[in-house]
Amino acid sequence: MKSSAPLILQVAVPAPLPRHFDYLPPEHADPATIAPGIRVRVPFGKRDAVGVLLATSAHSDIPAAKLRRASALLDETPLIPADLLALARWAAEYYHHPIGEVVSALLPPTMRAGKSGVAGPTGAWRLTAAGSAIDTQLLKRAPKQAALLRLLAQHAGDLDAAALDAALAHWPAPMRALLRRGWAEKVRYAPPPTPAALPVAAGLSLNAAQTAAVQKIQAALGSFQTFLLDGVTGSGKTEVYLGAMAESVRRGGQALLLVPEIGLTPQLLQRVRRRFPAAVVFHSALPAGERLAAWHAARSGRTPVVIGTRSAVFLPLKHPGLIIVDEEHDASFKQQDGFRYSARDLAVVRAARHHLPVVLGSATPSLESLHNCAQLRYAHLSLPERAGAAQHPALHLLDIRNRPMENGLSDLLLDAMRRHLQAEGQVLLFLNRRGFAPTVMCHVCGATLQCGRCDARLTLHANRRLQCHHCGAQRPLPERCEECGAGALRQYGYGTERLERALVRLFPDIGIARVDRDSIRRKGKLEALLEGMQHGEYPILVGTQMLAKGHDFPRVTLVGIVDADQGLFGVDFRASERMAQLIMQVAGRAGRAERRGEVLIQTHHPDHPLLTHLVREGYASFAQALLTERRAAGLPPYAAMALLRAEAVTRAAPMAFLDAARRKLAPACGRQVQLLGPAPAPMERRAGRYRAHLLLIAAQRALLQQALATALPALYELKLVRRVRWSVDVDPAETL
């Protein structure tokens, strides 16, 4: 043994094991560089891996002779700031997910691969005195140069490439022109400006409820407080976000706005950009380079505002000031595979750790958030009225039992459509099923066409191909029944494509737009459709829940919900909550301008208590009733839940693994944590794998957490673990 203990590096290595790994520093490593948050290249098994240094220690449980040496330190200064590293450790513990995988989720992919870390700014530009003197009105023939001049003039300091990218598309060519004319100059280094120095445009003047909400949020800046901004669709929540963000930015704090899906909210993006020209966007579908640029812009403090999806909750922020989660009820904030975190919940945890306010906004808040308000953990901000002149739409159930139907549309709905179209209103039909027909069945033997890899029927698409909506498998529609050989295959039920085709026949002279995952596959297609809708090109819109996502369609006066029964009998305990949220969100597209909207809901169950309650009493009352049910049933938010999931190519393996897991968990669970199962998942086979669940429920979260923390490490040791893919899902968004 040496006299001085060696320094041990505790490294988070992306591997499915619930611990860090110990290494010795590389030979000749500069001790000054060794700081938590730097990346480290290490030998791992037979390969090399890029990990992140969590901490150093004087001691390791591994005998000194067996300790391996890290091969290189990849950063000179920590890439992941300490606060974020602490959040990652918290999340790994709470979600019981391997720390190495959690930490790796904090890094843009290029950095995960070990590529260059914190690049210095490559350059920046500023106006010269001559440039400041130019009257941009005189540059009518060079509008891009004029726009760039104005941008540089608005801006107190220098602008670097990332800021320019964020503010102006295609800036390099006009920049070259400005440099040539001596109006701008390049500087080598731009010290990151504080967010307050960045341009912010003025917003609308707010109404009383909006003003009150903004004031409460502003008053909380600099301290931790969670707000639920509960505002009906069209009540101006977005303006409240923008107002609160502007104040945070004015005081030098960056604002992080989390949204469910950026691709579906071009309007929101435009509004944010108009208000904060230097805002950057961050989501996982961005090309790697842009993602990296956005990551740096957030980390360096160069951008005042980041708008991003789920994964943006882990962005490093130099001056964090405010976090906002728009449409907080949306299930897409929960990651559904691998590291199954909830970005909404982590946003609250992060705000608490940074001492920031966090705003959760929705017209249809989750039961969790409503419960937190009732417990006074969250402050409730309410926007009860629509902004401007708009009124709430009126909701009606259409009893379609025994009515004449035309391609899934009742005579009642068709009449209403004609009435609204004649009055130059726009009609939106919502059908949450894409494709042509959800079922193809043999009229002779009754066999349906099934996916070969899932327990699910294949959906027929208009291109005559069959598609599985669970695993993506595709094949052509066969000529004959595969069971009995009869040429009698028929399609049953309606998808958006079939509805669209029927509407073209019913309303031959009227423009119809369809919005679903298939119709907007091409980039820019959704923007083009939305644009056309704004200009009245499509009096009829047909679509899936994509139409429900926060769009502002000022001309829509009638919303038809083609099939409400679909959501009434879901297996999952959240099915009725989700159904109500969807109906209210779609309904909220109606009557957003002067004319009052009408919402007609087709159902075969007009007396169903869920539907009647929702329609008569509204979402808030409906949610209270659901909360009462959940309390009686001992379900979240009155209980904490975790789901142990396992899957394998054989039916027996996941059940056997979960049986063994149950035996390991039972002693730790005691009587306070209930174990249910294992049982096959409701859709047992998906993409060729059999799936099973073991459910854990406890009245107190701490007890559930303790049981998992005690027992889970032993599961990694089970022999069966090699035969299955398994994961823990804490606070599952669905139990399917």
- The answer for residues whose C-beta is within 8 angstroms of residue 242's C-beta and 6 or more apart is 203, 271, 272, 275
Cα 203 to the center of its chain, rounded Å: 26
d(Cα 392, Cα 231) in Å, to the nearest integer? 12
The C-alpha atoms of residue 308 and residue 347 are separated, in whole angstroms, by 12
Q: Count of residues binding Zn ion (CB under 5 A)?
A: 7
Indicate whether 214 belongs to the interface with ligand ADP (CB under 6 A). no
Q: Report if residue 454 touches Zn ion, rule: CB under 5 A.
A: yes
Residue closer to ligand ADP, measured from CB, 197 or 620: 620
By CB under 6 A, name the one of 53, 80, 206, 228 that touches ligand ADP: 206
Cα–Cα distance measured from residue 190 to residue 187, given in angstroms and rounded to the nearest whole number: 7
Tell me which of 89, 115, 319, 453 binds Zn ion, using CB under 5 A.
Answer: 453
- Nearer residue to Zn ion within complex by CB, 450 or 674: 450
Determine the size of the site formed for ligand ADP (CB under 6 A).
Answer: 15
Among 98, 174, 195, 236, binds ligand ADP (CB under 6 A): 236
Give the ranges where 386-490 is alpha helix by DSSP (H): 411-422
Nearest one of 384, 386, 365 to 581, comparing CA atoms:
365
Contacts 24+ apart (CB under 8 A), 369-374: 369/228, 369/328, 369/329, 370/228, 370/623, 370/624, 370/627, 371/627, 371/637, 371/638, 372/226, 372/228, 372/637, 373/228, 373/230, 374/627
Pick the binder of Zn ion from 102, 168, 468, 704 (CB under 5 A): 468
CB of 203 to ligand ADP, least distance (A): 8
Tell me the closest approach of the beta carbon of residue 300 to ligand ADP, in angstroms.
30
Cα–Cα distance, 497 to 504 (Å, whole number): 11
Longest Cα–Cα distance in the chain: 91
C-beta closer to ligand ADP: residue 206 or 733: 206
Among 134, 451, 640, 669, binds Zn ion (CB under 5 A): 451
Q: Find the binding residues for ligand ADP in span 333-392 (CB under 6 A).
A: 387-388
Pick the closer one to Zn ion by CB: 453 or 608: 453
Q: Which stretch binds ligand ADP (CB under 6 A): 45-53, 236-244, 272-280, 346-354?
A: 236-244
**List of residues 6+ apart from 621 with CB closer than 8 A:** 613
453 interface partner picked from Zn ion, ligand ADP, none, CB below 5 to 8 A per type: Zn ion
| Nearest distance, CB of residue 202 and ligand ADP, angstroms | 13
Distance between CA atoms of residues 298 and 316, nearest Å: 6
d(CA 35, CA 367): 42
Q: Which helix (H) or strand (E) holds 527?
A: helix 525-534
**Residue 484 half-sphere exposure, CB side, CA atoms within 13 Å?**
12
The amino acid at 338: G
| Residue 136 buriedness (CB in 10 A; 0-12 / 13-18 / 19+) | middle
Residue 239 touches ligand ADP, criterion: CB under 6 A: yes
Pick 243 or 308: Cβ nearer ligand ADP: 243
Check residue 234 for interaction with ligand ADP (CB under 6 A). Answer: yes
Taking the complex as a whole, the smallest distance from the CB of residue 262 to ligand ADP amounts, in Å, to 16
Cα 579 vs. chain centroid, distance in angstroms?
19
Could you say which of Zn ion, ligand ADP, none residue 33 binds, taking C-beta under 5 to 8 angstroms by partner kind? none
Helices (H) and strands (E) in the chain, counts: 21, 33
Smallest gap, in angstroms, from Cβ of residue 624 to ligand ADP? 21
Q: How far is the CB of 451 from Zn ion (least distance, A)?
A: 3
Q: How far is the CB of 480 from Zn ion (least distance, A)?
A: 22
Whichever of 168 and 586 has its CB closer to ligand ADP, that residue is 586
Residue 324 sits at φ, ψ, to 5 deg, of -130, 135
Q: What is the C-alpha separation between 603 and 622, in angstroms, rounded?
A: 18
- Least Å distance, CB 267 to ligand ADP, is 8
| Interface stretch with Zn ion, choices 31-39, 413-421, 470-478, 559-567 (CB under 5 A) | 470-478
Best CA proximity match to 733, nearest among 643, 609, 601, 628: 643
244 is an interface residue for ligand ADP by CB under 6 A: no
Tokens of 18: 């619930």
Spatial separation of the C-alpha atoms in residues 322 and 260, rounded to whole Å: 18
Candidates 238, 309, 342, 496; binder of ligand ADP (CB under 6 A) is 238
Contact (Cβ atoms closer than 8 angstroms) between residue 256 and residue 306: yes
Site string for ligand ADP, 537-576 (x = CB under 6 A): ---------------x------------------------
Q: Which one of residues 29, 55, 86, 471 is an interface residue with Zn ion (CB under 5 A)?
A: 471
Name the segment binding ligand ADP (CB under 6 A); options: 73-81, 204-212, 220-228, 693-701.
204-212
204: contact with ligand ADP by CB under 6 A? yes
For Zn ion, give the closer residue by CB, 454 or 515: 454
Q: Which is nearer to Zn ion, 387 or 468 (CB)?
A: 468
| Binding partner at 234 among ligand ADP, Zn ion, none, C-beta below 5 to 8 Å by kind | ligand ADP
Minimum CB distance to Zn ion smaller for 162 or for 451: 451
**Among Zn ion, ligand ADP, none, residue 237 binds (CB under 5-8 Å by kind):** ligand ADP
- 237 is a contact residue toward ligand ADP (CB under 6 A): yes
Total Cβ atoms within 10 A of residue 674: 15
Contact set for Zn ion, span 104-163 (CB under 5 A)? none
- Whether 160 and 121 have beta carbons less than 8 Å apart is answered as yes
Stretch touching ligand ADP by CB under 6 A, among 85-93, 160-168, 231-239, 303-311: 231-239
Q: Give the one entry of Zn ion, ligand ADP, none that residue 731 binds, where binding means its C-beta sits below a cut-off of 5 to 8 angstroms depending on kind.
A: none
Q: Residue 233: name its binding partner from ligand ADP, Zn ion, none (Cβ under 5 to 8 Å by kind).
A: ligand ADP
Write the CB contacts of 538 (distance below 8 Å, at least 6 apart in sequence).
Answer: 426, 511, 512, 513, 529, 532
Binds ligand ADP (CB under 6 A): choice among 100, 108, 131, 231: 231
Q: What is the distance between the terminal CA atoms of the chain, rounded to a whole angstrom?
A: 55
Q: Residue 231 Cβ, how far from ligand ADP at the closest point, in Å? A: 5
* Contact footprint for Zn ion (CB under 5 A): 451, 453-454, 468, 470-471, 473
* Contact footprint for ligand ADP (CB under 6 A): 204, 206-207, 210, 231, 233-239, 387-388, 552
